[in-house]
Amino acid sequence: MPMADLYNNPQALDETAAAAHRIEEDMRTIWFENEDIQAADEPYLLPLLQESFACWRKDSDEQAMPAGGQFVLLDLNSNVIGSAGTMEINRQAEAIAAARQAAADSMTSSESATEDERKLEAVAVPVLTRSDRRPFCVLVYVTDFLDGAQAKSIAQLSALHFRTCFYRRFEQLYIKDLLLQQKRTDKEASRRDALFLAAKRLYDQFDVTSVLSEMLSSLEQLYPNSIAQLYLSQDHVNGDSRVKPLVFKNAAHDLVAKSFLEGKLVTEQDRDGTKRLAVPMTGKQAAYGVLCLTVNASSWDDADLPAFVLLADTAGTAFENAKLYEQSNLLINELRLINELTKRLNQSLKLKEIFKFASSELLSVFDADYCCVLQLNKEKNQFVVMASNIPAMSSEHFSPEYGFCGIVHRTKEPLIISDYWHTRVVNSKLMDNTGARSLIATPILVDSEVVGVIMVAHKSANFFSYDNYKLLQVMSTHIGLAITNASLHAEVRRMVITDNLTGLHARHYLNEQIQSRQRKDPLGALILVDIDHFKQINDTFGHQVGDQILVQVSSIIRSSIRQGDIAARWGGEELAVYLPGIRSEQAYRIAERIRTHVEAETQPVVTVSCGVSEWTFENEKISVESLFYRADMALYEAKNNGRNRIYIGQAN
């Protein structure tokens, strides 16, 4: 039935009102029986009432309303929320005044209709809540054409209609709020799942670089329209351009520095609507950097802040774990390396082999381009290059004050040079000749004294890390111990194979060397030297002078033979010289040189007698004993024939 017909038919109005009431009751059984507006909602009702009134006007078709009638919606304080109808404009203010009066009366008495002297009738119907039947607004119908009963029916029907529109809108808002809450819940659940998966992936990584890459990838997934950057407070080489060093320039105005120093989330928003958030990436032991997110403020929800902070905390813990794992592996590898180095160093007791092995190992361990191991020669007071992969540096020697080895020698401390080209504190032949830029150097200490210097260099700047610097110090200690052991062994062996008085080799060493030579040489010769009348010298001048004579004769022998020849004290005043690769004729000339020099250079003057023998691979019997026997027999003949002469022993 058309709306205008309803307004003009009281019975139809009553039937429609009853039907609306039944529909409303049915709706209450379907929709949210227990949901209704509460007293606490009243301050926020105005927008909902305005929207509901607009919806009611649209449903009621304002043009079909009774002529000369006006509907006014008021709140409980008689404030007009909306007005609609066909009343003349010049009477609308009057109608609103009548409506206010009727609304006020309806809230204090059971009467809901008023009438003024100009025959305006106003019927006020409080609109009640559906749960506790409490009024929350008043709909007033003002007219001057209808009688009271008809006006009242229209007002009641319209109030029921408005109430239905109101609760329909209320339910829509409620559903919208539920959907919004559901959406937020789903989003939160999705975010929680994403955070869980991100945390799992982060904790699955044992490599620092992988942790950082995974964290940045997770941020891109969680916040696809953002720009993520990480500022690390410690050195870390990473190929990702989003990972940057944390630099403190202006902490008061630098968002990242402020977040790191204060240890909390810091945000700022630019005029263009860009929002920046910075949160420390913190582990249990320290803060390792700051995670910075740049987003558009319009697309950012502050509800995402906890997830962002949680991800930063998770990344900090994962980074710390990876760092500790990396450090533990590095320590294990260093211990294994040091153990292997020590083991291999101690396998050799020859200084040259130790220096050579140390140099090659240092090049391998530090992935270096160049290495020099220098030893301090205390007698000459200079550093000598004992091992190097630079041919031009082999056997080079430097003053203890020169270059980086001079700094290390003076301070007894290691040093690290990040870029020699830009920080040339001293001149260095190693760095200049090779074009190297990075250097680590450390002293080789023995009993707190510098006995050598290790220098390791690379062509690239900033190549060596602080861990390399520390490792070289540890390795130098073990190299120093190996050098000490080799030096002690060499000294002990020298003492064992050397006669303390003359400085010549001991007899057993001479025997060992002759046996060794006879196994690989084709021939050799032996000279036995005996000081004539040595007992008489001791008796005349004393044993101290006798010892001096032995020293003088030994010195003459050393100066008269080749570098590869072996001179030894055979016993008492008898001395021996083995000449590898020489026949008896040549040996005779050397013996003659010794004899003449002894007679000319000793003080007091003494003479010597010599016996010479030889061996060749053609001899039937080749032995040390036979060689000495023939030389001894020749010496015996020289003494019996007047002394101060030389005889050659004949082979049997």
- Please report, as a single letter, which amino acid is at residue 321: N
Block residue for tokens 């003088």: 552
Integer Cα distance of 592 and 585 in angstroms: 11
Whether omega before 604 lies within 30 degrees of 0, making that bond cis, reads yes
Active site residue 111: no
Integer Cα distance of 123 and 98 in angstroms: 9
Across 129-264, the runs of DSSP E, i.e. the strands, are 135-143, 227-232, 243-245
Q: Token digits for 200?
A: 């799992």
Q: Give exposure, 330-364, as e/b (b: 16+ Cβ within 10 Å).
A: eeeebeebbeebbeebeebbebebbbbbbbebbbe
Long-range contacts of residues 558-567, Cβ cutoff 8 Å, at least 24 apart: 558/503, 558/504, 559/597, 560/590, 560/593, 560/594, 560/597, 561/590, 566/505, 566/509, 566/510, 566/513, 566/514, 567/504, 567/505
> Could you give the count of Cα atoms lying within 13 Å of 500 in the half-sphere of its Cβ?
3
User: Do 603 and 591 meet the contact criterion of CB atoms below 8 Å apart?
Assistant: no
Q: How many CB atoms lie within 10 A of CB 440?
A: 27
Integer Cα distance of 482 and 345 in angstroms: 6
Q: How many CB atoms lie within 10 A of CB 175?
A: 12
Block residue for tokens 């539920």: 178
Look at strands 266-269 and 646-648 and give their pairing.
Answer: unpaired
Integer Cα distance of 314 and 203 in angstroms: 8
Three-class HEC string of 363-416: HHHCCCCEEEEEEEECCCCEEEEEEECCHHHCCCEECCCCHHHHHHHHHCCCEE
Q: Give exposure, 81-94, as e/b (b: 16+ Cβ within 10 Å).
A: bbbbbebeeebeeb
Tell me the backbone φ, ψ of residue 246, rounded to 5 degrees.
Answer: -85, 115
DSSP 244-267: EE---S-TTT-HHHHHHHHTS-EE
Question: Can you name the residues that pair with 456 across neighbouring β-strands?
Answer: 371, 440
Integer Cα distance of 365 and 125 in angstroms: 95
Catalytic residue among 320, 361, 573, 614: 573
Task: Catalogue the active-site residues.
Answer: 573
